[in-house]
Structure 1
Amino acid sequence: MFAVTHLVHVEIYFILIENFCNSTIKDGFSFPRTMVGWSAYSEELCDEKTTSEASARCLNDTGSLMFGSPHKLQCEFTLIDIQENISSSPGDLLQLAVSTQILTSQPEQLSADNITTAAQIANTLLQSANITEDIAVAAVTTISQLLNASEESTQERDAVQNLTETLEMFSLDQHNNVSLVVQPNLVVQSVQVPSDSVGIQFTALTGSSGNFVANGINVNTNTSELIADKGGSTDVQIVMKFPPVLHSNNTNHSIGFVLYQNDRFFRSRAFSASSGTSRTVISANLGQVSGLHVEMLFKPTAVPNASLYDFACVSWNYTLKDWSTYGCSKVNHSEDGLRCFCNHTTNFAVLMSFRRDFKYAEALNWITILGCSMSIIGLSLTITFQIATRKSRKTNPTVLLVSVCVCLLIFTLLFMLGVDNPHKQLDKPEILEDNVLPLSDTHTERDRGPCTVVAVLLQYFLLGTFTWNTLYATHVFLMIRNSLATSPSDFTAYTVAIGWGLPAVVVALTLGISYRVDDPLGYRQEEFCWLAALDPKGNFDFKLPMFWGFLIPVAFMLIFNTVMLIYFAVTTCKTNPHLTSTRHTSMKKKFLSSFSLAVVLGLSWILGYLLLITQNETMYTILNISFCVLTTTQGLQIFILFTARTAIVKKKMSSAMNSVSSAGIPLHTRKFSLWRGKHSDQVESYTQQDTVSFPPCSSQTSNSWAAGSTCCKTSPLVL
C-alpha cells in the first residue's frame, strides 16, 4: 500500500513538472506556460478589449510538448454573431468553435445572456454531424470555462440542462477517435469495453491546483472492484459491474463518462450551498441497460474549521431538475472516501453537510476563572459597602457606582456559570444510515433555548455595565464643569431610565434582526453562549451581531469615557501642587485618582479592540494576556480602589488590628486606647483614599480655580 501511495505522489510530481508547454512566441503571438491538453490565450488583446486575440493548444503529438497552430479571433465577432452564423451558414465550424472558446476565456466577466448563448453554441457544436476532434475540444473547453462563470439566470438554467444531456450522449460515441478530452473543469471519456469484461473502473485525480489533468485520469476496462484508497489519493472513483445480459451478444459496448469539477450546471432548489462549497459531479452512461450495479467513491470535501456531519448519495433527475436519492444508497464512509451504490446510470454526486469545529483557548482558562472569582467577591463587598455606608458618607447617592457593580457582577456570574453551551456537540457525529437529502451543506442545530437566553442576558448586562460607566463619566464631567458637590436634581431619574433602558433597546434590535429558532447561530455562537462573531472560515464577520450589536455601541461609549478621563486628569493636574507634605505624595494621589476613574469606566476593554487589528503574533499574545487579566479582575480593582482604600475601611481595619494587639499584650492596652482616643476627635470623612484633596477656599486659591474649579467641593469620584 505504501508503494501505491508513493507512486501516486510520484505521478503527481511528474504531472506538475513534466507536462507543460513552456511560454513561447508562436506566429507572432505570446502564449504563457500551459498544461498539456489545455488551451492557452495570447497576451495580445483585441484593441482595447480584454479578450485575447488568439489561442493555441498545448499538444504532445510528436513526443515533445509544444503549442499547436494558433487560432485567431475575428475581434469584431460576438457570441450572438457566432450563434447566428452556426444556424445560417455552418461552414467553418472550427473557426466558430474556437472564437466561442476565446470569447468565454474570462468567464467571470460574462453576463447571464452571454453564458446562455455560449451554452447554446456548445450544445449545437457537440450535436453537429460534421464535428471533428478540434471542434470537440474547443466546445468542451468552452463548457469547462463556463463552469467558472458567476452569473446565473433561469434562461441559462435551461440551456445548461440541455448541455449536460448532450454531453452524456456525446461521451457514448467516439467521434473521429475523440476518446478523451481533459480540460481544467471538465473531462469527457469514451471507452469501448470488450464483451467479456466484468466491469469498468474510472478514476480521477486532480492536480495541486484542483483542476483536472490528463495524467490524472485512468480507466480499467476489466474490473468490478473499487481500489482501496488509503489517504484519499483519488478525488472520485466509479465502478460499473455489468449484468450477465451484456455477455450474451459478444459485442463490444460503448461507455461514456463526464466529470464536472463543480456542480454549477446542477443547481439545486432542495439543497442550499450556504457556505460556498461545490461538489464534483460524475456522469456514467451505458445506454438503456437495466440491472446495473454502480459503485462510487468520493473524496470528502475539506471545509476549513468544519467536519463532516452527514452525506447523501444522489443522482440528477432531469424531470425534477434537482437531486434525488432514488435508486441510490450509502455503502460506508471513512476519512478516505464516501462510498455510494446506485442501480442506474446518470449524473451522480455526493451532497455533504458539515458542522463547524469549535476550538478552545485553554491557556487563559485558569486566569479567567481566578480573575472572575476574585471579581465576584470584590463586587459583592463593594455593593454591600456602598449601600451600608451611604448615610454615613457625606456624598451623593451611590446609585451610579452600585449600578455599575450590579451589572458587572451579574455578567461575571453568568459568564462563569453559563457561558459554556451545555448542549454543544464536540464529538464527531454519527453518520446516519438513511440516505436522506440534506437541506444545506451547513448543519445547524435548532435552538434549545437556554444558551440563547444566557447570551441575551450577557449582552444586556455587559452593555448595561458600559452604559452605567458612561453615565458615571457624565456625572464626573458635570460636577467638575459646574463646580457642584451634588448632581442635578433630575440626574438620577434620567440615569436610571438610560442605564437600564438603552441596553434593552440594543438587545431587542439585535434579536429581532439576527435571531431565528432554526438558525440560532445567526445571533450567538455554538461553543459559547455569546454573540456570533466569526464566519465559517474563522474570520471576523462584520455582518454578525458581535460587531454592530456590541462592538459599535461600546466603542462610542469607550471613546466618550476616554475623553472624560483625559478631561478629568488635565483638570486635576491644575490643582495646587503643595496640598500635601510633598509634591511626590500629591502626584501619587493624582495618579491614583485618574487610575480609579479609568478602572470604573472600563477602559481596559480598549485592549480588546487592539486585538482585532493586531497582526504581530507576539504583540497579540501580550495584548491577549493583558486584556484577560485586566477585564476579569475589574471587579477586584473596583473593590480595592473604591472600598478597601476608603477611610472608613482603613479605620475599621486599624481598630481591629489594635484590638488584636491589645488582647495579645495587656500592658500596652492603655497606650493604644489613648492613641485611638486622640484621633477620635477628628471628623472622619468616609471617602476614597486615592481621591485628590482640594484646598480650602481663600482669596489665593479661588482665583486660580475660577470657571470650573472644584475648590471646597467633594471629589467628583465619590458617589
Structure 2
Amino acid sequence: MCSLLTLDDWKTAEMKELWIMVVFATVSFPQGDLITSSAIPTTIDITIPTLGDPITLNTTGLPTTSLPTTSNTTTPPLVCINGGELLSGDCICPDEWTGETCSEGNFCNSTIIGDFSFPRTMVDWSAYSEELCDENTTSAGLPKALAECSYDTGSPMFGPPHELQCELTLSDILGNISSNSGGLLQLAFSTQILTSRPKRLSADNITTAAEIANTLLQSANITEDIAVAAVTTISQLLNASEESTQERDAVQNLTETLEMFSLDQSNNVSSVVQPNLVVQSVQVPSDSVGIQFTALTGRSGNFVANRIHLNNNTSKLIADKGRSTDVQIVIKFPPVLHSKTTSHSIGFVLYQNDRFFRSRAFRASPGTSRRVISANLGEVSALHVEMLFKPTAVSNASLYDFACVSWNYTLKDWSTFGCSKVNHSADGLRCFCNHTTNFAVLMSFRRDFKYADELHSITILGCSISIIGLSLTITFQIATRKSRKTNPTVLLVSICVCLLIFTLLFMLGVDNPHKQLGKPKIQEDNILPPSDTHTERDRGPCTAVAVLLQYFLLGTFTWNTLYATHVFLMIRNSLATSPSHFTAYTMAIGWGLPAVVVALTLGISYRVDDPLGYRQEEFCWLAALDPKGNFDFKLPMFWGFLIPVAFMLIFNTVVLVCFTVTTAKTNPHLTSTRHTSMKKKFLSSFSLAVVLGLSWILGYLLLIPQNQTMYTILNISFCVLTTTQGLQIFILFTARTAIVKKKMSSTLKSISSFGIPLHTRKFSLWRGEHSYNVESYTQQDTDLSFSPCSTDI
C-alpha cells in the first residue's frame, strides 16, 4: 500500500532555498493473512536523518488501531572520526573534538580580529596573538594580545582581544594591583600574557606571578573574567621549568587560596577548566548522600571541560559509561549534614602535576609528575572520602608500591595520616581518607629486567677453549723461563693470569644469583615510599663479581699496554733485554693501576641502597644503560672502563704499527729467503696484535649506530675473537715455539720407537731363467730407510 505524503506548513524561515519533499511510505503485511480495517495502522512515523524532524503519514478513513510490529535490530559499533580512538566501546576524542563519534567541533577556528591574528584554539582556553612585542621592549618576544574562545554566542567564537602594554612587567603589576581596583581585569589579562611562555620565567617571575594570582583570587571585586585569567595564569605556572626555595611559600599560599576560592560561592564562578588546572564549585542539596567528581581520560592529558563530570547524589565510585578515568573522588556526607535544610558548598581543585607540592621525603625522578586533587567541605569532620587514581604507565617498569597521601601544610610535605589503601587494579588505585585537603598517590616502580637464560653457545665454547689454552700457556711459560732469558715472561704470564681469572669469573659468576623475578607484591600498609624508583638493597655477591671482573679485565689491558711498552723500547733502543728496574715498575703499575680505577669507580657510583648505580641487574657487570635502555655516559661503564681502555688500545695500536713498519724492512740482497721472511713477519705482527688485545676495538665499533647486517657481522666477529683470545695466545706463543716443536718431535719418536719389533719377509723374484731372493725390513721410524740385506744371483 502506497500513499503520497505532502508536507504542509513546512517552516523554512532560516533556509535560503525551498525544498519540496515527496516521501513514499510502504506498509507490508504477511502473505495469506486476512487484512481487515483494524489491522491497518493509522499513522506511520518516518525520521529523516538529515533534518531529524518526524514526519507523520495520515491515512484517511482508516481506523486508529495499528498492527504490533517487532524488529530485530543490532547496535552497530561506533565509528570514531577526526582522530578519535575506540576504547571499551567508547570514542576517546582529541581535545578539539567532542560528541559520541568525535563529530562535534570544540574549538574556535583561526581568525583575525582587528590588528591581531589568533590560531585555532580550544573552547574555554585563551588564544595568544601571533603578533609579538618588539625586540626593543621589556616584553620582547611575548604575544601582544589574547582572546578567549567561548560558547557565549551559541557556537565557538573568539571574544574581544585584550592588548598588552609591552613595557609592562610583573613587578609593575604587583605594585599596582592593590591600589587599582578599577583596572583589575586589564592587570589580570596582562599577567596572563606575561606568563604565557612559562619556560622563560625566572624564579623571581614565578614568585611575583603567584603573588599576583593570589591577590586576584582574594579580591572583593573579582569577576568571572578576572577569575578565569587568574586560574589560567596558575595553569601556565605549572609548566614552568625554574624551581627554587624562593617560590615555595608563594605557591603554598596560592594552593590554600585556590581551596578557599573553590569553596566560595559568592564569586559566581562555578567552573574554570584550563589545560593544567580545574577549579570546580558546586552547591549540593541537603538530601544528597554524597558527590562524585570525575576527570575522564583524554588523548593529550590536558584537562577539557567536556571531560569533567559531577554526580551530585552518590556515595560510591561509579564508572562513567565504562570510560577510563584519570582521577575520581567521592565524598560521602556524614548524617549531620542530612539534618540541615540548606544546601552546602563543595569545592574541587585538580592539578595536572605536583609542581606546587614538592616533597622532601619523596624523591621523584626528573620528568615525572603526579596529579593532585583537592576537595574542600569547610569545617565538616568525620567525612568518608574515597579516591581512584589511574596508575601511571612507565615503560619497562612495574608498579612496586604506592601510598595514599594528603598534603600537610604544617610539615609542608606529604603525609599518610588519616589515609589508607583500599585496593588496586589495572583500572586504578583506590584510597580512603577521613578528611578533605589536597590528595595524591605516590607510586614507586621497579624496572622490568630481561635476564638471559644462558650464555650464548659461542661464548661458552670459546671461553672453555681459552681457559685450557691460557692454563697451558702459563704452565709452559713458567716451566721454560730459564731457557728464554730474553723473552718477557713476566709480562706474558701476567696477561694470561688476568685473562684466565676474568674468563673463569665471567663463565661462573656473571649471572646474577639474586634475580628480581616475577611481579612485585604491593604492600598493604600505607607507607610513604622514599622514591618513585625502587631498587633492592645490595646483597653482595653480584657486586663482588662485578668488581673482580672490572679489576681483572682492566688488569689484562694494563699488562697488554706494558707489553706494548716493552716492545716499543726494544724497537727504539734496539735492546735485546729490558731496561733496569723495568720488571719492578711493571709489577707496580700492572697490579696497582686497575685497583686505583676500581676504587674510584666504587667510591663515586656505589651505594648499598642503590647498587645499580655501579653495576647492572641483568648480569654482574658495570652499569651502562639508563632506564629507557639508552647508553648513559654518566654511568661507570663509560668513564670507569671504556675511557681508560680506549687510551690503552690507541697506544697499543700505535706500537703495532711501529713494529710492523720496522720489521717489514727487508734486505734486498736476501732474495732467496724473502718469501719466508715476509711470512714470519706477518705472523709476528699478528701475534703481537693478539697479545695486545686489539680485537676489542670491534667492541667500540658496536657503539656506533649502523645497519642491522653490519651490526650482526661485527657482533659475531667480536664474540668469536674475544672469547678465543686465550686459544690464540696458546697457539702463537706456545704451540709454535721451537721448544714445543722439539719436545713434540722427541715425544713422537719415543712413542713410535717403543715396543715396535722389526719384521723380516723373503720374496722370490723370477726374471727369465734367474731368480732373486730379497729380504725386506719395515720399520715405523721415519728416520730409517729401507735397504736389502742380501742378494743371490
> CA, structure 1 residues 321+672, in 2 after alignment: closer, same or farther (shift >3 Å)?
same
* Matched residue, 1:539: 630
* Matched residue, 1:472: 563
Partners of 2:378 and 2:686 in 1: how far apart?
82
* Matched residue, 1:6: 88
* Matched residue, 1:608: 699
> CA, structure 1 residues 394+222, in 2 after alignment: closer, same or farther (shift >3 Å)?
same
SS in 2 for 1:472: helix
* Matched residue, 2:126: 39
Question: 2:92·2:298 contact (CA, 8 Å) conserved in 1?
Answer: no
The answer to whether residue 239 in structure 2 is matched with residue 148 in structure 1 is yes
Matches within 5 A, 1:637-652: 637-652=728-743
Question: 1:35·1:58 contact (CA, 8 Å) conserved in 2?
Answer: yes
- Unaligned regions of 5+ residues in structure 1, if any? 678-719
> CA, structure 1 residues 617+134, in 2 after alignment: closer, same or farther (shift >3 Å)?
farther
Partners of 1:184 and 1:453 in 2: how far apart?
50
The answer to whether residue 113 in structure 2 is matched with residue 22 in structure 1 is no
The answer to whether residue 141 in structure 2 is matched with residue 50 in structure 1 is yes
Query: Could you tell me how far 1:651 is from its partner in structure 2?
Result: 4.3
Partners of 1:344 and 1:237 in 2: how far apart?
16
Query: Could you tell me how far 1:364 is from its partner in structure 2?
Result: 6.2
* Matched residue, 1:162: 253
> CA, structure 1 residues 96+275, in 2 after alignment: closer, same or farther (shift >3 Å)?
closer
Q: Give 1:535's aligned amino acid.
A: D
Can you list the C-alpha shifts for 1:202-253, whole angstroms capped at 9, x where unaligned? 2213533322222222222222232459999321111222222222223322
The answer to whether residue 432 in structure 2 is matched with residue 341 in structure 1 is yes
The answer to whether residue 415 in structure 2 is matched with residue 415 in structure 1 is no
Partners of 2:247 and 2:490 in 1: how far apart?
66
Query: Could you tell me how far 1:166 is from its partner in structure 2?
Result: 0.9
Query: Could you tell me how far 1:306 is from its partner in structure 2?
Result: 2.3
Q: Give 2:353's aligned amino acid.
A: N
Partners of 1:581 and 1:201 in 2: how far apart?
100
Partners of 2:424 and 2:675 in 1: how far apart?
74
The answer to whether residue 570 in structure 2 is matched with residue 483 in structure 1 is no
Query: Could you tell me how far 1:585 is from its partner in structure 2?
Result: 4.9
SS in 2 for 1:215: helix
Matches within 5 A, 1:379-398: 379-393=470-484, 395-398=486-489
Partners of 1:587 and 1:37 in 2: how far apart?
84
> CA, structure 1 residues 572+137, in 2 after alignment: closer, same or farther (shift >3 Å)?
same
Partners of 1:231 and 1:441 in 2: how far apart?
29
Question: 2:666·2:674 contact (CA, 8 Å) conserved in 1?
Answer: no
Query: Could you tell me how far 1:118 is from its partner in structure 2?
Result: 0.5
Question: 2:449·2:618 contact (CA, 8 Å) conserved in 1?
Answer: yes
The answer to whether residue 544 in structure 2 is matched with residue 448 in structure 1 is no
Q: Give 1:160's aligned amino acid.
A: V
SS in 1 for 2:246: helix
> CA, structure 1 residues 376+352, in 2 after alignment: closer, same or farther (shift >3 Å)?
same
> CA, structure 1 residues 23+452, in 2 after alignment: closer, same or farther (shift >3 Å)?
same
Partners of 1:552 and 1:676 in 2: how far apart?
61
Partners of 2:205 and 2:394 in 1: how far apart?
32
Question: 1:578·1:586 contact (CA, 8 Å) conserved in 2?
Answer: no
Identify the match of residue 96 of structure 1 among 158, 164, 187.
187
Query: Could you tell me how far 1:512 is from its partner in structure 2?
Result: 2.1
* Matched residue, 1:634: 725
Partners of 1:7 and 1:97 in 2: how far apart?
43
Can you list the C-alpha shifts for 1:333-381, whole angstroms capped at 9, x where unaligned? 1232211111111100011112222224569633322222222222112
Can you list the C-alpha shifts for 1:389-429, whole angstroms capped at 9, x where unaligned? 22334642411111001011111111222222222313222
Matches within 5 A, 1:562-581: 562-576=653-667
Question: 1:41·1:52 contact (CA, 8 Å) conserved in 2?
Answer: yes
The answer to whether residue 621 in structure 2 is matched with residue 523 in structure 1 is no
Partners of 2:587 and 2:142 in 1: how far apart?
66
* Matched residue, 1:598: 689
> CA, structure 1 residues 213+617, in 2 after alignment: closer, same or farther (shift >3 Å)?
farther
Can you list the C-alpha shifts for 1:82-103, whole angstroms capped at 9, x where unaligned? 1111111221111101100110
Q: Give 1:40's aligned amino acid.
A: A
Query: Could you tell me how far 1:499 is from its partner in structure 2?
Result: 0.6
Partners of 1:102 and 1:615 in 2: how far apart?
47
Identify the match of residue 356 of structure 1 among 442, 447, 466.
447
Partners of 1:341 and 1:426 in 2: how far apart?
31
Partners of 2:735 and 2:254 in 1: how far apart?
80
SS in 2 for 1:309: strand
Partners of 2:708 and 2:116 in 1: how far apart?
47
* Matched residue, 1:505: 596
The answer to whether residue 204 in structure 2 is matched with residue 117 in structure 1 is no
Question: 1:354·1:442 contact (CA, 8 Å) conserved in 2?
Answer: yes
The answer to whether residue 398 in structure 2 is matched with residue 307 in structure 1 is yes
Q: Which has the higher helix share?
A: 1
Can you list the C-alpha shifts for 1:112-159, whole angstroms capped at 9, x where unaligned? 111111001101111112212211111111001111112223331111
Partners of 1:574 and 1:231 in 2: how far apart?
83
**Structure of higher CA gyration radius:** 2
Q: Give 1:386's aligned amino acid.
A: Q
SS in 2 for 1:613: coil
Matches within 5 A, 1:105-504: 105-174=196-265, 177-227=268-318, 233-360=324-451, 365-393=456-484, 395-504=486-595
> CA, structure 1 residues 404+166, in 2 after alignment: closer, same or farther (shift >3 Å)?
same
Query: Could you tell me how far 1:502 is from its partner in structure 2?
Result: 1.0
What is the root-mean-square deviation of aligned Cα atoms in Å? 2.7
SS in 2 for 1:532: coil
> CA, structure 1 residues 464+670, in 2 after alignment: closer, same or farther (shift >3 Å)?
farther
Q: Give 1:318's aligned amino acid.
A: Y
Question: 1:415·1:458 contact (CA, 8 Å) conserved in 2?
Answer: yes
Partners of 1:430 and 1:346 in 2: how far apart?
29
Query: Could you tell me how far 1:298 is from its partner in structure 2?
Result: 1.1
Structure 1, 421-430 or 131-140: larger mean CA deviation? 421-430
Structure 1, 579-588 or 440-449: larger mean CA deviation? 579-588
Question: 1:185·1:262 contact (CA, 8 Å) conserved in 2?
Answer: yes
Query: Could you tell me how far 1:665 is from its partner in structure 2?
Result: 7.9
* Matched residue, 2:58: none
Structure 1, 625-634 or 470-479: larger mean CA deviation? 625-634
Q: Give 2:110's aligned amino acid.
A: S
Question: 1:30·1:43 contact (CA, 8 Å) conserved in 2?
Answer: yes
Can you list the C-alpha shifts for 1:249-297, whole angstroms capped at 9, x where unaligned? 2332222111111101011111111444211101111222222211111
Query: Could you tell me how far 1:572 is from its partner in structure 2?
Result: 2.2
Query: Could you tell me how far 1:453 is from its partner in structure 2?
Result: 1.9
SS in 1 for 2:385: strand
> CA, structure 1 residues 237+582, in 2 after alignment: closer, same or farther (shift >3 Å)?
farther
SS in 2 for 1:673: coil
Question: 1:658·1:672 contact (CA, 8 Å) conserved in 2?
Answer: no
Can you list the C-alpha shifts for 1:451-501, whole angstroms capped at 9, x where unaligned? 222222111111110000001111111112222222223211111111111
Partners of 1:534 and 1:246 in 2: how far apart?
57
Query: Could you tell me how far 1:187 is from its partner in structure 2?
Result: 0.9
Query: Could you tell me how far 1:631 is from its partner in structure 2?
Result: 1.8
- More relative contact order in 1 or in 2 (CA 8 Å, sep 6+)? 1
SS in 2 for 1:259: strand
The answer to whether residue 675 in structure 2 is matched with residue 675 in structure 1 is no
> CA, structure 1 residues 175+642, in 2 after alignment: closer, same or farther (shift >3 Å)?
farther
Can you list the C-alpha shifts for 1:286-338, whole angstroms capped at 9, x where unaligned? 22222221111111222233222111100001111111101100111123221
Question: 2:93·2:298 contact (CA, 8 Å) conserved in 1?
Answer: no
Count of residue pairs brought into register by the alignment = 676
SS in 2 for 1:406: helix
